[in-house]
Amino acid sequence: MNSIDAVKKILIETLHLGAQGLDLGPDSPLLGSIAELDSMAVVSVLTRLEDHFGFTIDDDEISGQIFSTLGSLSRFVDSKLA
């Protein structure tokens, strides 16, 4: 499973998106487009990403740009894994 698939799965599970989440692609907008992705959900997603991939995310690394699209979130994960 590549990181985009894992990130998508984490989003679907954490935000309880169900079938709606299956349509997410690399260019799918996230922040501001998915009602379930509020500030508390962002924290939950970040925690799940840390647990799943085994890295730590510092507060100063977080910005709205990371949550712009599924692809941008996946690229952030890839940068943490590199």
- For each of the domains in the chain, give its residue range(s) and CATH number, in order of start: 3-81 (1.10.1200.10)
Q: Which of 64, 63, 46 is nearest to 55 (CA)?
A: 46
Would you write out the chain's pLDDT as a tens digit for each of its 82 residues?
579 999 999 999 999 999 999 999 999 999 999 999 999 999 999 999 999 999 999 999 999 999 999 999 999 999 999 9
- pTM across the whole model: 0.94
DSSP 60: G
Rg (alpha carbons) of the chain, rounded to whole number: 11
What 3-state DSSP class applies to 73?
Answer: helix
